[in-house]
């Protein structure tokens, strides 16, 4: 069978990145090999995001460009998957004539069948039913050559219905994979050289709720910790309301759990948090951060923040700024509120003008940059253990590794250190990375 070329472009979050890895693995089974060269492709898939309006615009402009490739090559198959595909369904075909298929968030496992059907008969296909099955999550994505770290989906969907968010509508209700399936996947990954796993779910704290077998997220972490060969465990994302004492204690007790938590706060104003249907008060959030820092002083804490939520007053916004000054996150992803169709927040009054949202966002980001740099400077002259992931993006003679706290460190080193744990001294802090230096001989810096 002659290999055909697949070009896949991913928009959005880590879940989408991992979905794309699974799609690539599945389609290799029917003879498609992934390419970076869009012009060589026989099949183009855009894995879309619709969390904010900006993400959807990016997809439309890319489809405009891709449509032109089809004029030159009528055999080319073009499809969209992911959240925007789920949202628009057949409407996507009406909007974008170049599309051959639209496949939703719970239909990845159907892609080989969709493509084979299209090869035989070019009629437009739409598959957006929710199957509520584990088929898609159980697809094994062989990690690329030289990969050290891999994503593992532990659950899909979300039951939280934060008032601004489309995820529960587009990814469906929460369903967890069995711990047996997850453990088997991780053991396979270890056999392929993986040392670090990031457990993925929209709200990992809810893991196990539908399984009725007594398992929960903490017990899952403990089981994964027992797997020989796994050296580091990360997870994302955790909802502040559901972050249990048991899970927080894992940061002190479970040696393999990395010292980093992404805990989206969204706002510092209790009034706005209530309108967002987040289910916690800022005092409860802050108390959890204090506890995490007490039991795990090295922990880095990152967050998501939305500015310009409907009805956010200058006072509410100031409360977010004050909260950030108090907590001093290691870094944050911050966004202008983006109205999404069908969400509860769409019906709220007091919409904030775009230019005002931008002013609020820029001020907040400037402050965060200051905190991030200060936090990084605190690490200067400290010794840090890194898992070396590969060549540095900055220079071919440098390597890049990550601290347990998820900070990127570039340092001079030889390629045979890739995949090893090494100890370096942090010599210089920047906003987005650190510079490190091997202090001992190459052999002596290897921790294991
Ligand atoms: N499940 C995760 C959680 O609860 O934090 C992440 C969900 S979402 C993919 C990532 C972030 O996008 C959210 O934490 C939120 O800050 C942001 N977001 C979601 N909907 C948004 C909207 N309508 N406008 C602006 N930002 C939004
Ligand atoms: Fe969206 Fe809230 Fe669910 Fe996160 S927890 S995916 S923000 S509804």
Q: Give residue-wise pLDDT tens across range 131-173.
A: 877 888 899 998 887 899 999 999 999 999 999 999 999 999 9
| Atom 8 of ligand 1, nearest CA residue | 51
What is the Å distance from ligand 2's center to 427 Cα? 39
pTM for this predicted structure: 0.96
Tokens of 273: 């948090």
* Per-residue pLDDT tens over the stretch 306-362: 999 999 999 999 999 999 999 999 999 999 999 999 999 999 999 999 999 999 999
φ, ψ for residue 254 (rounded to 5)?
Answer: -95, 105
**CA distance linking residue 69 with residue 49, whole number of Å:** 22
CB atoms within 10 A of CB 314: 9
Mean pLDDT of 267-281: 98
Distance 158 CA to ligand 2 centre (A): 6
Tell which one of 17, 236, 264, 344 to mutate to probe ligand 1, the residue whose CB is within 8 A of the most ligand atoms. 264
If you average pLDDT over residues 219-229, what whole number do you get? Answer: 97
Residue nearest to atom 1 of ligand 1 (CA): 202
Query: Ligand 1 centre and the CA of 369: distance in Å?
Result: 20
Give the pLDDT confidence score for residue 263 in this predicted structure: 98
Quick one: CA dihedral 161, 167, 171, 176, positive or negative?
negative
Name the closest-CA residue to atom 2, ligand 2: 162
Cross-sheet strand order for the sheet of 125-127: 32-34, 4-10, 43-48, 77-82, 101-103, 125-127
Q: Which of 162, 235, 262, 333 to mutate to test the pocket of ligand 2 (most atoms within 8 A of CB)?
A: 162
> Residue 67, SS3?
helix
Tokens 């399936």 identify what position? 181
DSSP state of 261: E
Which tokens belong to 154?
A: 């532990």
Nearest atom in ligand 1 to 237's CA: 2
Tell me, what's the pLDDT at 135? 82
Tell me which residue has its CA closest to atom 1 in ligand 2.
Answer: 165
Residue 336 is encoded by which pair of tokens?
Answer: 């202008």
How confident is the model over 44-99, as pLDDT tens digits?
A: 999 999 999 999 999 999 999 999 999 999 999 999 999 999 999 999 999 999 99
For residues 244 and 209, the answer to whether their CB atoms sit within 8 Å is no
**pLDDT for the residue 291:** 98
Task: Give me ligand 1 centre to Cα 193, in Å.
Answer: 33
Residue with tokens 């204690």: 249
Instruction: Say what the pLDDT of residue 334 is.
Output: 98
Cα(351)–Cα(309) distance, rounded to whole angstroms?
7
């Amino acid at each position: 069978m002659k290999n055909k070329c697949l070009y896949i472009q991913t928009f959005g979050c880590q879940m989408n990145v991992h979905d794309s890895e699974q799609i690539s693995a599945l389609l290799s089974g029917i003879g498609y090999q992934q390419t970076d060269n869009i012009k060589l492709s026989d099949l183009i898939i855009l894995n879309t995001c619709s969390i904010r309006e900006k993400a959807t615009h990016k997809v439309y402009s890319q489809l405009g460009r891709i449509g032109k490739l089809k004029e030159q090559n009528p055999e080319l198959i073009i499809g969209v998957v992911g959240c925007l595909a789920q949202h628009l369904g057949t409407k996507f075909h009406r909007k974008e004539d170049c599309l051959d298929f639209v496949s939703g968030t719970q239909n990845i496992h159907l892609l080989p069948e969709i493509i084979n059907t299209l090869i035989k008969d070019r009629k437009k296909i739409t598959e957006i039913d929710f199957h509520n099955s584990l088929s898609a999550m159980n697809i094994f994505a062989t990690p690329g050559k030289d990969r050290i770290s891999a994503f593992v989906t532990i659950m899909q969907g979300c039951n939280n219905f934060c008032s601004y968010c489309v995820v529960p509508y587009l990814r469906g209700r929460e369903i967890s994979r069995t711990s047996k399936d997850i453990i088997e996947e991780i053991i396979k990954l270890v056999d392929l050289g993986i040392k670090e796993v990031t457990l993925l779910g929209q709200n990992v704290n809810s893991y196990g709720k539908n399984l009725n077998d007594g398992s929960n997220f903490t017990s899952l972490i403990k089981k994964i910790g027992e797997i020989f060969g796994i050296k580091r465990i990360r997870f994302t994302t955790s909802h502040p309301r559901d972050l249990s004492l048991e899970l927080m204690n894992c940061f002190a007790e479970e040696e393999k759990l990395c010292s980093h938590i992404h805990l989206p706060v969204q706002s510092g104003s209790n009034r706005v948090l209530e309108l967002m249907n987040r289910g916690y008060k800022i005092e409860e959030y802050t108390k959890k951060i204090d506890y995490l820092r007490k039991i795990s002083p090295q922990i880095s804490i990152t967050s998501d923040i939305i500015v310009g939520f409907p009805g956010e007053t200058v006072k509410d916004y100031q409360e977010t700024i004050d909260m950030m000054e108090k907590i001093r996150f290691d870094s944050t992803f911050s966004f202008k509120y983006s109205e999404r169709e069908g969400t509860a927040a769409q019906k709220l009054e007091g919409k904030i003008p775009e230019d005002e949202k931008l002013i609020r966002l820029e001020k907040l980001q400037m402050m965060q940059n200051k905190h991030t740099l200060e936090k990084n400077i605190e690490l200067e002259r400290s010794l840090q253990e890194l898992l070396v992931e590969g060549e540095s993006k900055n220079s071919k003679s440098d390597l890049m590794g990550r601290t347990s706290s998820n900070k990127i460190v570039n340092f001079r080193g030889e390629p045979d250190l890739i995949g090893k744990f090494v100890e370096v001294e942090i010599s210089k802090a920047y906003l987005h990375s650190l510079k490190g230096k091997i202090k001992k001989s190459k052999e002596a810096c290897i921790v294991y």
